[in-house]
Chains A and B, each alone.
Chain A
């Protein structure tokens, strides 16, 4: 039968000439970039979506006051060409460029930003990322519905091209925040042509309707097939933009994506299957891009559940795992073993690497907690959400705890929503977790383990920790802030409500034709710097 299959396939092949040009070849010729983008975006509305996938799309279609440069991750002018910050760090003045245009030709004004930030904070819109705007004074009260008069919120258009922003606290990373999509502007007339300002999921984001101010404009959006954007001639910096268009493919399966790349259907992938890394290192190292990512992989301990309420037990568990071996043998993409919580080199901040691998001490601590050689240790469950990567880490950790501490651990695999539910209601003992920083500052990692944080699912609380984080929020001077963060992080790492395992690595395959794609900690690759050069007429 296989013979018949091959014969039939061969026949079909012969009948229609399949001597097709690959996407990479035709795309490079026409200046069209083909990208694997992980999944179908939930929406293209920057005030509704929260994911990395959607962020990559919004980056092409919209632009904030400021933008990030992919090489050094410093803020560079976007819609604003210049800005001043007051002495106390609480008031900003942004000067908008007069040639910034929406894709329909309308000028981008300061009023557009006031409208957009108000919309992002409207309670009924249900924006999950509204907290990113809480730094504006009174924004939180407005978002919670306690305040209805938006003019009391700290943003105001002084004239068409000047925006004044008032913050509650001096926030040295505020310019970085502005590059996040929750601060992107939206086009008022377009939004309101399709519904109220706070209506969810109206048709304004559809091709033909969408009006943006980014380097590209939306041309096609076919569900689960592809999204096509083409160069926006109205964009103020259109001369810099070298691509004529981008095609985004929602490829969920990493193995499929890798095959598409190898068959010349994609210029850039969103990831690469772990098992392929060794082979790419050996055979095609020039296309393999691995770079530390602003994200930590760790395990949560439920500090209310026995036996994890004992700090010695948590410390023993942490000392018993060999992080180097996990990253070398299991994750294999050159992830950095995490000996602290925040990733290294965050805008100048690097935490003290206090965690270690020490089986001897681990056993001693476990004995001190009353479980010498694991005797009498209560049953322990390790929960993770369905994913091959999480499964592998869990299997290896399970074995390390067994060998080194003689503790039996049961692995519990849960589907994503069940996992979230159990984590949220603290119905777990040990759970896998990961956190991607929202902005380039240690605060995005550290303020989530304060007692009042909605993201602290461990039940751990420490007043001194809370005080240090609060004090850092009041501090302008960067080195003093970092000292406070370091002190706080040392408390976190001594008491270990969480057990960091490694710093993520961003994995991608980038074909040699792509220029101007720079690996960086935030995995942002603004498309206006990217160009395509055919390897044939590549002279430099």
Chain B
């Protein structure tokens, strides 16, 4: 349960989080990955698109630490560049989901009554829409592009967020200090922004850390269907989808990208768990 902001719960939480070694490991891991992705052009030993057809797929060696793919492209470079797409999809789509979900849920919960019922009915409708088909149709109708991919995934993932936030807002609304603020004549918007939002930060952060891995996996599923990013770009999903096909012949093409994906998802999960414990959420 979220407590009123008396003793700066967030600072305490941060201290608790620091004591959780696995969570800090996750955080460091993610920071390193984000840096790698940002600095990709300066760090990568090779170009992500330059081919060497004569070389073809080769096992890890001194020249190519993680080997090369079918086109003789350096796998390490493709993984670093792939992290740009995958992390961007993960974080931007989650941000989209957060933005829509929090706004929608907070408004519905705060306004209440008929508006609330109407807004949540829309959430129900989208909830009942089988999301695979929904995303496939969206991609087919509007064509493959990365911006749409962010939006489509975000549009699917905001629903649970909206429900969580609404529940929290309904709960907080009944607290004494909000009623006090209302009786003091504060405007609704001011109340939402100043009092309600800070108090729902906990569950939202936790849910967000769990959404990011889901979204990264969703992108890889779309790549599996051929609806992901366009070549010569790469993403983890694309690398893995291709690696699976050749896992007997060129195992490194599956092993390294899959390990990287697993490490990232591990880190996100650890961080999510750590945050949950630190924020005292159940």
Is any CB of A less than 8 Å from a CB of B in the complex? yes
Interface residues of B in 230-250 (CB under 8 A from A): 230-232, 242, 245-246, 248-250
Among B48-56, B121-129, B167-175, the one that faces the other chain is: B48-56
Q: In this complex, what residue of A is CB-closest to B49?
A: A399
Q: Which of B53, B54, B56 has the most CB of A within 10 A?
A: B53
Produce 1/0 per residue, A260-272, CB < 8 A to B: 0000000000000
Asked if B140 lies at the interface with its beta carbon under 8 angstroms from chain A, I say: yes
The distance in angstroms between the C-alpha atoms of A395 and B52, with both chains bound, is 12
Known: A275-B70, A329-B56, A413-B231. 5 other contacts (CB 8 A): A273-B245, A275-B249, A395-B232, A396-B51, A399-B232
Q: In this complex, what residue of A is CB-closest to B54?
A: A329
Residues of A within 8 A of B249 (CB): 275-276, 278-279
The distance in angstroms between the C-alpha atoms of A386 and B230, with both chains bound, is 11
The distance in angstroms between the C-alpha atoms of A394 and B50, with both chains bound, is 14
Contact with B232, one of A255, A279, A398, A417 (Cβ below 8 angstroms): A398
Asked if A305 lies at the interface with its beta carbon under 8 angstroms from chain B, I say: no
Chain A interfacial residues counted at CB < 8 A: 27
14 sample A-B contacts, Cβ–Cβ < 8 Å, listed by A number: A255-B245, A275-B249, A276-B248, A276-B249, A329-B53, A386-B225, A386-B227, A395-B231, A399-B51, A411-B230, A411-B232, A413-B231, A415-B140, A415-B226
The distance in angstroms between the C-alpha atoms of A418 and B245, with both chains bound, is 26
The distance in angstroms between the C-alpha atoms of A386 and B225, with both chains bound, is 8
Interface residues of B in 46-65 (CB under 8 A from A): 49-51, 53-54, 56
Contact with A388, one of B49, B50, B140, B245 (Cβ below 8 angstroms): B245
Asked if A241 lies at the interface with its beta carbon under 8 angstroms from chain B, I say: no
Chain A positions within 8 Å of B, measured between CB atoms, are: 255, 273, 275-276, 278-279, 325, 329-330, 386-388, 391-392, 394-396, 398-399, 410-415, 417-418
Residues of B within 8 A of A413 (CB): 144, 226, 230-231
Asked if B71 lies at the interface with its beta carbon under 8 angstroms from chain A, I say: yes
**A275 engages B53 (CB within 8 Å):** no
Residues of B within 8 A of A329 (CB): 53-54, 56, 70
Residues of A within 8 A of B248 (CB): 276, 279
The distance in angstroms between the C-alpha atoms of A411 and B238, with both chains bound, is 15
A320 CB to nearest chain B CB (Å): 14
Q: In this complex, what residue of B is CB-closest to A422?
A: B143
Contact with B246, one of A275, A330, A415 (Cβ below 8 angstroms): A275
B266 CB to nearest chain A CB (Å): 15
Chain B positions within 8 Å of A, measured between CB atoms, are: 49-51, 53-54, 56, 70-71, 139-140, 143-144, 225-227, 230-232, 242, 245-246, 248-250
Residues of A within 8 A of B242 (CB): 388
The distance in angstroms between the C-alpha atoms of A278 and B249, with both chains bound, is 9
B interface: dominant SS: loop
The distance in angstroms between the C-alpha atoms of A278 and B225, with both chains bound, is 26
**A395 engages B245 (CB within 8 Å):** no
The distance in angstroms between the C-alpha atoms of A392 and B225, with both chains bound, is 15
Q: In this complex, what residue of B is CB-closest to A255?
A: B245
Residues of A within 8 A of B250 (CB): 275
**A395 engages B230 (CB within 8 Å):** no
Q: In this complex, what residue of B is CB-closest to A392?
A: B70
Q: In this complex, what residue of A is CB-closest to B246?
A: A275
B234 CB to nearest chain A CB (Å): 11
**A396 engages B71 (CB within 8 Å):** yes
**B245 engages A394 (CB within 8 Å):** no
Residues of B within 8 A of A387 (CB): 226
**B231 engages A394 (CB within 8 Å):** yes
Residues of B within 8 A of A412 (CB): 144, 230
**B53 engages A396 (CB within 8 Å):** yes
**B245 engages A275 (CB within 8 Å):** yes
**A395 engages B140 (CB within 8 Å):** no
The distance in angstroms between the C-alpha atoms of A398 and B50, with both chains bound, is 11
The distance in angstroms between the C-alpha atoms of A399 and B47, with both chains bound, is 12
Residues of A within 8 A of B144 (CB): 412-414
The distance in angstroms between the C-alpha atoms of A418 and B141, with both chains bound, is 9
The distance in angstroms between the C-alpha atoms of A413 and B223, with both chains bound, is 11
**B231 engages A411 (CB within 8 Å):** yes
Q: Which of A255, A329, A418 has the most CB of B within 10 A?
A: A329
Q: In this complex, what residue of B is CB-closest to A278?
A: B249
Residues of A within 8 A of B51 (CB): 395-396, 399
Contact with B140, one of A325, A330, A418 (Cβ below 8 angstroms): A418
Residues of B within 8 A of A388 (CB): 242, 245
Residues of A within 8 A of B245 (CB): 255, 273, 275, 388
**A386 engages B226 (CB within 8 Å):** yes
Q: In this complex, what residue of B is CB-closest to A398?
A: B232
B268 CB to nearest chain A CB (Å): 20
The distance in angstroms between the C-alpha atoms of A388 and B228, with both chains bound, is 13
Residues of B within 8 A of A279 (CB): 248-249
Residues of A within 8 A of B230 (CB): 410-413
Residues of B within 8 A of A418 (CB): 140, 143
**B70 engages A330 (CB within 8 Å):** yes
The distance in angstroms between the C-alpha atoms of A276 and B70, with both chains bound, is 13
B282 CB to nearest chain A CB (Å): 24
A59 CB to nearest chain B CB (Å): 31
Shortest Cβ-Cβ A-B pairs, 3 listed = A386-B226, A329-B53, A275-B246
Residues of B within 8 A of A410 (CB): 230
B153 CB to nearest chain A CB (Å): 18
The distance in angstroms between the C-alpha atoms of A325 and B143, with both chains bound, is 32
A197 CB to nearest chain B CB (Å): 36
B9 CB to nearest chain A CB (Å): 35
A393 CB to nearest chain B CB (Å): 11
Residues of B within 8 A of A395 (CB): 51, 71, 231-232
B59 CB to nearest chain A CB (Å): 14
Q: In this complex, what residue of A is CB-closest to B51?
A: A399
The distance in angstroms between the C-alpha atoms of A410 and B71, with both chains bound, is 18
